Chain A
Amino acid sequence: MAVEILKEKYRSKVGEVVLGATKEQGGTRSHTITVGGESTLPFLHFEGEVPHRPVVAMEILDMAPEDWHPCFKQYFGDVYDDPAAWAKKCVEQYGADLIQIRLRSADPDFKDSSPEDCAAVVKKVLEAVGVPLIVIGCGKPEKDSTIFPVVAEAAAGENLLLGVAELENYKAITSACMAHQHNIIAQSPIDINICKQLNILIAEMSTAMVNRIVIDPTIAALGYGIEYSYSIMERASNGALQGDKMLAMPMIGNIGAEAWRAKEANISAEDEPGWGEQEERGIMWESTTAMAYLQSGMNILVMRHPRSVELIKGQIDDLMKDNSY
């Protein structure tokens, strides 16, 4: 007696977002990356399409990161002060699918760099690598709202992914994206209703933006509330497949930054002998966090450690293998 395979019949699918633009499309990227489009839950190829594999972005900063664990020096120490070289190394040596640059230096508490300085850094990174680019502000809304218009204009045609837009301050960044045709990261605080509401508000500013939104559900690291984000994402994915258009956007998460904040990733084996060696523990803390989010439907994983990137790309290869019956 053959087992009758149970396949869900979903009404809808996750929308697709295209990142980057080639010369023919008005940009300078060597290729574009499309995310989303899945018509089933993660990697269930037996019942639906997963047309685009999840991608891994590596995160860089526009200034040397004082707060990163010293174990990162051996990989990036030589390029910490040169974002263009840093980006190039991530792509050429460590296989980053795309680059996320955080404009931390613009923070008034750091260097208070001007919007023009920020735009110049973005341009340099664009020149150094051919992959699509994600640009994140410094996190201070007043400052970011002055940066986005300038960066968006300087990189017009490149079809960036810009972030982050939040419920309290989405207008400046949305306008910048609309004016220069970039994509936007809509961030909500582990709350599916706010997630949806923010998407609606951005869509109200311009319906053309609907296909340009990437959801950042705000993710927590392994051990620090990962199960909350995991479940919010599962609910959003189910909502998207059941036809809720305002939840049907691809999702992004800052895995590296969150995982490497955890004590478990950083503390030395001398200080916590029961937990084993530090660097491998950090790598596994980051990649296990990423593994979980692949299982809850994340499309763009922003990561930090070269080995974590390698491991998770290997797992994506495995998960993308057909499993039809």
Chain B
Amino acid sequence: MGLTGLEIFKHLPKTNCKECGSPTCLAFAMALASGKASLDACPYVSEEAKAALDSASAPPIKLVKVGAGDHAVELGDETELFRHDKRFFHPTSIAVLISDTEDAAASAELFDALEFDRVGLHYVTDMVAVQCASGDAAKFKAAVEAVAGKTQKAMILIAEDPAVMEAALPAVKDRNPLVYAANAGNYEKMVELAKANNCPLAVKGKDLNETAELVEKIVALGYKELVLDSGARETSKVLADLTQMRRLAVRKKYRPFGYPTIAFTSKENAQEEILQAGVYVSKYASIVVLKAREKQQLLPLLAWRQNLFTDPQKPIAVEPKLYDVGEPDENSPVYVTTNFSLTYFIVEGEVEGSRIPSRILSVDTGGVSVLTAYADNKFSAETIAAAMKKAGLDEKVKHRQIVIPGHVAVLKGALEEASGWEVLVGPREASGIPKFAKERFA
């Protein structure tokens, strides 16, 4: 993966012994590069070369898991700098910070309820970070246990004094919390703790250089379940560091940065914090730790995360069926559109904005928009008429009128013929629906 044939060739014995089945070592290298051969076929490859090739073929950013069971969160394993080049894979985890100087159990209970439903999706605030602010090991342990008792979600334990960490970690090790953090002063002890409890470990440097050095030292101690913190806290600096870590890992396969990352907000005001966190979600953080806890503050951030991490090559579809907007009755208007979620939800928003209870028939167009589906014959008089029938529109409304998008006005005649209904041509853009509805149906 990512290695060229020539790069692989350098590590081979170059004896052209043919025992692997390829005529030359170079041919074998080419076959390896294209994934058509396995290195095991070469009986003479050195252990060193094997290790080098193995690590070179590892993904640019390691996948690290925090948490256990259904609430485990996968971090890292990203391959792109821009979502339009392919996609981003593992959504940034949003972690809410709870201090051991507050009523940790009460806060954890509130945190656990920070989940949202919008546009048919479920958004979850997926991590909780418990911080030792008291400096007191017993207090920290109590807070960690209190939080663990109130939520099953993935945890981060924040204490840089290994003695404090040691007091709290064993009791919750089965929850696979992220141990935060190993620094230049404590890393040997922290690695020992993480190893002993088999938990992922955050590595915190004071800048990129120190972070890279620490990672190499920790890897040399045999531990690789790591999450990186470059130590920066100012928005602009964090943006730069996260960009460098992602770039160096993905483009240069720079191993010390081949791990997920964690960023912390520094703003005291919750609204400013959300926007700061938004920058880190946009640009490459695997975890963002913040203090904001209000629903109206977190919902926009979670919506942005969901939007950013969608697959740009896959249109998102809603279930093709008849939807109610408000509480429609047998006289309410009926609109028809595609099942491309973006189109559907924009139409839904505007129909809702018209303040006239209505129905929207979402036709299965394979999740593509009105004009694309029309061009592809997936949004035609036949498919619409079939969807009308399947939804049982005949029984649900007394009238025989259906509104089609203005962009496909051309379907009017054919649809009237196919369905026997009167077809009203709606506005070209959904934004015209409230006015259209007011004139037609109010």
Q: Is B440 an interface residue (CB 8 A)?
A: no
Nearest residue in B to A263 (C-beta to C-beta)?
A: B349
Please judge, given known A-B contacts A263-B349, A285-B300, whether A44 and B310 are in contact too, CB under 8 Å: no
Q: Give the residues in chain A near B209, CB-CB below 8 Å.
A: 1-3
Please judge, given known A-B contacts A274-B116, A276-B296, A292-B278, whether A321 and B234 are in contact too, CB under 8 Å: yes
Q: Give the residues in chain B near A322, CB-CB below 8 Å.
A: 236
B307 shortest CB reach to chain A, Å: 4
The answer to whether A323 and B236 touch across the interface, beta carbons within 8 angstroms, is yes
A233 shortest CB reach to chain B, Å: 10
The answer to whether B272 and A288 touch across the interface, beta carbons within 8 angstroms, is no
Please encode chain B, from 115 to 147, with 1 for each CB lying within 8 Å of some chain A CB and 0 for all others.
011110000000000000000000000000000
Q: Give the residues in chain B near A323, CB-CB below 8 Å.
A: 236-237, 239-240
In the bound complex, CA of A321 to CA of B435 (Å)? 46
In the bound complex, CA of A58 to CA of B239 (Å)? 27
Query: Chain B, interface size: which category?
Result: 35 or more
B400 shortest CB reach to chain A, Å: 29
Q: Give the residues in chain B near A291, CB-CB below 8 Å.
A: 275, 278-279, 282, 304
The answer to whether B283 and A275 touch across the interface, beta carbons within 8 angstroms, is no
The answer to whether A224 and B248 touch across the interface, beta carbons within 8 angstroms, is no
Q: Is B276 an interface residue (CB 8 A)?
A: yes
Q: Give the residues in chain B near A245, CB-CB below 8 Å.
A: none
Residue in contact with A222 in the complex, picked from B235, B297, B300, CB distance below 8 Å:
B300
The answer to whether B342 and A225 touch across the interface, beta carbons within 8 angstroms, is yes
Q: Which of A262, A284, A287 has the most CB of B within 10 A?
A: A284
Q: Is A68 an interface residue (CB 8 A)?
A: no
Residue in contact with B349 in the complex, picked from A44, A261, A280, CB distance below 8 Å:
A261
Residue in contact with A312 in the complex, picked from B213, B251, B275, CB distance below 8 Å:
B275
In the bound complex, CA of A3 to CA of B257 (Å)? 10
Query: B68-114: which have CB < 8 Å to A?
Result: 82-84
Q: Is A227 an interface residue (CB 8 A)?
A: yes
Q: Give the residues in chain A near B301, CB-CB below 8 Å.
A: 284, 288
A9 shortest CB reach to chain B, Å: 13
Please encode chain A, from 290 to 302, with 1 for each CB lying within 8 Å of some chain B CB and 0 for all others.
0110010000000
Residue in contact with A45 in the complex, picked from B117, B236, B256, B297, CB distance below 8 Å:
B236
Please judge, given known A-B contacts A224-B346, A263-B352, A291-B279, whether A281 and B299 are in contact too, CB under 8 Å: yes
In the bound complex, CA of A105 to CA of B346 (Å)? 25
In the bound complex, CA of A291 to CA of B303 (Å)? 13
B358 shortest CB reach to chain A, Å: 15
The answer to whether A262 and B235 touch across the interface, beta carbons within 8 angstroms, is no
Query: B221-247: which have CB < 8 Å to A?
Result: 234-237, 239-240, 243-244, 247
Q: Is A230 an interface residue (CB 8 A)?
A: yes
Residue in contact with A44 in the complex, picked from B84, B234, B243, CB distance below 8 Å:
B243
Residue in contact with A284 in the complex, picked from B271, B282, B310, CB distance below 8 Å:
B271
The answer to whether B239 and A43 touch across the interface, beta carbons within 8 angstroms, is yes
In the bound complex, CA of A263 to CA of B117 (Å)? 13
Q: Is B158 an interface residue (CB 8 A)?
A: no
Please encode chain A, from 175 to 203, with 1 for each CB lying within 8 Å of some chain B CB and 0 for all others.
00000000000000000000000000000
In the bound complex, CA of A1 to CA of B211 (Å)? 11
Q: Give the residues in chain A near B353, CB-CB below 8 Å.
A: 261
In the bound complex, CA of A230 to CA of B213 (Å)? 35
Please judge, given known A-B contacts A276-B297, A315-B235, A323-B240, whether A224 and B278 are in contact too, CB under 8 Å: no
The answer to whether B295 and A275 touch across the interface, beta carbons within 8 angstroms, is yes
Q: Which of A281, A314, A318 has the most CB of B within 10 A?
A: A318
Residue in contact with B275 in the complex, picked from A44, A230, A231, A288, CB distance below 8 Å:
A288
A291 shortest CB reach to chain B, Å: 4
Q: Give the residues in chain B near A116, CB-CB below 8 Å.
A: none
Q: Is B294 an interface residue (CB 8 A)?
A: yes
Q: Is B404 an interface residue (CB 8 A)?
A: no
Q: Is A117 an interface residue (CB 8 A)?
A: no
Q: Is B421 an interface residue (CB 8 A)?
A: no
In the bound complex, CA of A283 to CA of B270 (Å)? 12
Q: Give the residues in chain A near B387, CB-CB below 8 Å.
A: none
Please judge, given known A-B contacts A6-B252, A226-B307, A276-B294, whether A315 and B276 are in contact too, CB under 8 Å: yes
Q: Give the residues in chain A near B300, CB-CB below 8 Å.
A: 222, 264, 281, 284-285, 288
In the bound complex, CA of A280 to CA of B117 (Å)? 18
Nearest residue in A to B241 (C-beta to C-beta)?
A: A323
Residue in contact with B236 in the complex, picked from A3, A292, A312, A321, CB distance below 8 Å:
A321
Q: Give the residues in chain B near A39, CB-CB below 8 Å.
A: none
Q: Give the residues in chain B near A321, CB-CB below 8 Å.
A: 234-237
The answer to whether B307 and A275 touch across the interface, beta carbons within 8 angstroms, is no
Q: Is B345 an interface residue (CB 8 A)?
A: yes
Q: Is A109 an interface residue (CB 8 A)?
A: yes
The answer to whether B271 and A280 touch across the interface, beta carbons within 8 angstroms, is yes
Q: Is A243 an interface residue (CB 8 A)?
A: no
The answer to whether A222 and B282 touch across the interface, beta carbons within 8 angstroms, is no
Nearest residue in A to B297 (C-beta to C-beta)?
A: A284
Please judge, given known A-B contacts A223-B307, A276-B299, A280-B271, whether A6 and B251 are in contact too, CB under 8 Å: yes
Chain B residues packing against A (C-beta within 8 Å): 82-84, 116-119, 208-209, 212-213, 216, 234-237, 239-240, 243-244, 247-248, 251-252, 254, 256-257, 271-272, 274-276, 278-279, 282-283, 294-297, 299-301, 303-304, 307-308, 310, 312, 342, 345-346, 349, 352-353, 431, 435
**Besides A238-B82, A275-B296, A285-B300, 5 other A-B contacts (C-beta < 8 A):** A3-B248, A227-B308, A228-B342, A264-B118, A321-B237
8 contacts between A and B (CB under 8 A): A5-B208, A45-B236, A226-B304, A234-B82, A234-B84, A283-B271, A284-B271, A284-B301
Q: Which 8 A-B pairs have the closest CB atoms?
A: A276-B296, A276-B295, A281-B296, A323-B240, A288-B300, A318-B235, A231-B84, A321-B236
Chain A residues packing against B (C-beta within 8 Å): 1-6, 43-46, 109, 220, 222-228, 230-231, 234-235, 238, 261-264, 274-278, 280-281, 283-285, 287-288, 291-292, 295, 307, 311-312, 314-315, 318-323, 325
